[in-house]
Amino acid sequence: MGGTRAAIRSGPRPRYRLAALVIGLCLCTVLTLASAWAGEPIRIGLTPVFLDDQVSLLQRWRGYLEEHLGRPVRFVQRTTYSEINDLLARGRVDAAWICGAPYLRQRDVVDLLAVPVFHGEPRYRSYLIVPADDNRTQGWTDLRGKVFAYSDPDSNSGSLYPKTVMRQKGLDPDRLFRTSFFAWGHRNVVEAVASGLAGAGAVDGYVWETLRRFEPGLTAQTRVVERSREFGFPPLVIREGVAESTRDALRRVLIRMGDEERGRALLDALNLDGFTRGSPQLYQGIGDMIRAEGPQ
Partner 1 sequence: MSLGRALSSYRLRIPLSLVAASALTALVLGSVVVLQTWRNVERDLVTTGRQLGDALATAVKPALRHDDVWRAFETLRASQGTLFDDRTALIVVDARYRVFAANKPRRFPVATPLADAGATYAALIDKLGAAPPETFSAFPDALPDRWTLLIPIRQDGVSMGALLLVYPDTLMWPRFQAIVGDAALSIALLMATLAPLGWLWGKRITQPILSLTRSMSRVGRDPPGDIRAPMVDRDDELGALTAQFGKMLEALKEKDALEARMVEQERLATVGELAGGVAHEINNPLYGLMTAVDTLRRGSADPRVQRSADLLERGLNQIRETVSALLVEARLDGHPLTRQDVEDVRTLATARYSSGVLSWDNRLQAPVPVPATPIRQVLLNLLLNALEAAGTAGNVACRVVFDGETLTIAVTNSGTAITPEAQAKIFRPPQETGGSGGLGLWVTHQIIRGMQGRIEVDSDESSGTTFRVELPVSGGQYRPANAAGSHRG
Give the binding site for partner 1 (CB under 8 A).
147, 149, 178-179, 181-184, 188, 192, 195-198
What single-letter amino acid sits at 15? R
Of residues 84 and 192, the one with the C-beta less far from partner 1: 192
The distance of closest approach from Cβ of residue 175 to partner 1 in the complex, given in angstroms and rounded to an integer, is 13
Identify the bridge partners of residue 130 per DSSP, sorted by sequence position.
223
Of residues 10 and 179, the one with the C-beta less far from partner 1: 179
Of residues 153 and 258, the one with the C-beta less far from partner 1: 153
Alpha carbon separation from 155 to 48, 92, 123, 268 (Å, rounded): 10, 21, 15, 24
The distance of closest approach from Cβ of residue 1 to partner 1 in the complex, given in angstroms and rounded to an integer, is 52
The distance of closest approach from Cβ of residue 177 to partner 1 in the complex, given in angstroms and rounded to an integer, is 9
Q: At what angle do helices 284-293 and 161-168 cross, to 10 degrees?
A: 60
Identify the bridge partners of residue 168 per DSSP, sorted by sequence position.
none
The distance of closest approach from Cβ of residue 173 to partner 1 in the complex, given in angstroms and rounded to an integer, is 15
**Measured between alpha carbons, how far apart are the two ends of the chain, in Å?**
59
| Distance separating alpha carbons of residues 113 and 250, to the nearest angstrom | 8
Nearest residue to 163 (alpha-carbon basis) of 145, 185, 140 = 140
| Distance separating alpha carbons of residues 161 and 101, to the nearest angstrom | 10
Of residues 176 and 269, the one with the C-beta less far from partner 1: 176
The distance of closest approach from Cβ of residue 188 to partner 1 in the complex, given in angstroms and rounded to an integer, is 6
Of residues 16 and 181, the one with the C-beta less far from partner 1: 181
Of residues 94 and 152, the one with the C-beta less far from partner 1: 152
The distance of closest approach from Cβ of residue 158 to partner 1 in the complex, given in angstroms and rounded to an integer, is 12
Of residues 74 and 178, the one with the C-beta less far from partner 1: 178
| Distance separating alpha carbons of residues 28 and 30, to the nearest angstrom | 6
| Distance separating alpha carbons of residues 265 and 201, to the nearest angstrom | 31
Nearest residue to 73 (alpha-carbon basis) of 102, 43, 45, 52 = 43
The distance of closest approach from Cβ of residue 152 to partner 1 in the complex, given in angstroms and rounded to an integer, is 11
Spatial CB neighbours of 65, under 8 Å, sequence gap ≥ 6: 42, 73, 250, 253
